[in-house]
Amino acid sequence: MKSHKTWSTPVVPEESRSIPCALCGGEAFEVYLSCEGFSYLRCTACHLAQINPQPLKGAVEARYQQEYLAYELANERNFLALQDRSLKDAGFTDIETRFLPQGRSSLLDVGCATGALLESLRNRGWKVRGIEIGLPSADYARQVRNLEVYSLSLAENRFPAETFDVVLASHLIEHLNDPANFVREVYRILRSGGYFLITTPNIAGFQARLFKSRWRSAIFDHLYLFSVKTLSQLLVKNGFRIEKVITWGGLAAGTAPKPIKWIFDRAAKRLGFGDVMLIKSVKTL
C-alpha cells in the first residue's frame, strides 16, 4: 500500500528551541517517528507526540502564505463536504436547534482558510467570524465572501471574555506552537455551555500505526500529533467536558482496492481508530 503525505511546506532550517511537553510539562522524550529532515518525539510521561526542538512562532506563521491559498482553493469543495459531514456526525444540528432560537449564534472558526465553511454557516443563521493568519486566504475570505476575518493569532485578537457560543478549529491545533495556551484562550472567550469542536489527525489511528513515519499526517507543518487520549486530556485539564468523539477514514483514497477500503473505513469509524478525529467539548460553568 502507498502513503500520500498531505500538503506541507518544505523542510527548511528555522530557528528552534527545546520546550517542555505542552500537555504535562514533562521534559523526558523518546524518538517516536524519524521523518525526512525532522523527528517526532514522544513525551515518556503522557505520550504526546511533538516536534521538539520546536521552530519559533514567527517562522511557523511565515509558512502559510501564497502557496497555501492555491492549496486551499484547489481543495475547497472537498474540504467543505468533509467538514459538513463530520459536523453532522458530531451532532452540530442539535446545537443549532438549541442555540439559534435562544439568540446564541456567535461562532468563531479559527484557521478558517478561504471561509467556505463560515459562508455556509452564515447561510444557516450563525453570526460568523474567522481567524486566518495566512494573509492571501484571509483576503480572499474578506473580499470574495464578505466575511469578518482577522489575521492575528487567537490570543492577539484579545476578544472580550465570553464572546462566542461556538468555536471551531479544524486541522489547526496540530500546527500551533502552544496548544495548551490556545485551549485556555478558547475557554476564556466561550460563553458558559458553549461548544468547542476540534478536528485533527489521530496518531492512534490505523493508518498512523501502519505507515509510521510515512503516515500522511507526519509532516513538517504538524508540530503536534494527538491521539483521542492526549487531546481529551488537554481539554479536560483546561475546563472542558468531552461530549462526543468521532473518528473516520480507515484508509486513504488510492491506497487499497475500493471494497477493502470500504470495509476498513466502516470498521475505523465504528471502532474509533479512524485517521482523523473530531472532539466535541463543552465549557462547563
**Joined grid coordinates for residue 121:** 454557516
**Joined grid coordinates for residue 106:** 456567535
As a whole number of angstroms, the distance between CA 80 and CA 78 comes to 5
Q: How far is CA 179 from each of CA 22, 172, 237, 261, rounded to the nearest angstrom?
A: 7, 10, 12, 33
Residue 43 makes contact with Zn ion by CB under 5 A: yes
Nearest to Zn ion of 24, 190 (CB atom): 24
Residue 26 makes contact with Zn ion by CB under 5 A: yes
Nearest to Zn ion of 39, 157 (CB atom): 39
Residue 228 makes contact with Zn ion by CB under 5 A: no
Nearest to Zn ion of 23, 173 (CB atom): 23
> Do strands 276-283 and 127-131 pair parallel, antiparallel, or not at all (unpaired)?
unpaired
Residue 23 makes contact with Zn ion by CB under 5 A: yes
Block residue for cell numbers 442539535: 94
Nearest to Zn ion of 23, 95 (CB atom): 23
Give the total of residues touching Zn ion (CB under 5 A). 8
Nearest to Zn ion of 26, 91 (CB atom): 26
Which residues sit opposite 31 in a β-bridge?
41
As a whole number of angstroms, the distance between CA 184 and CA 234 comes to 10
Contact stretch for Zn ion (CB under 5 A) within 23-31, 81-89, 201-209, 210-218:
23-31
* Closest distance to Zn ion from the beta carbon of 231 (Å): 13
Block residue for cell numbers 473518528: 247
* Closest distance to Zn ion from the beta carbon of 85 (Å): 32
Single residue of 35, 46, 135, 256 touching Zn ion by CB under 5 A = 46
Nearest to Zn ion of 92, 182 (CB atom): 182
Which residues sit opposite 168 in a β-bridge?
109, 197
* Closest distance to Zn ion from the beta carbon of 31 (Å): 15
**Joined grid coordinates for residue 245:** 468523539
**Residue 6: closest CA among 76, 55, 80, 71:** 71
Residue 21 makes contact with Zn ion by CB under 5 A: yes
**Site of interaction with Zn ion (CB under 5 A):** 21, 23-24, 26, 43, 45-46, 48
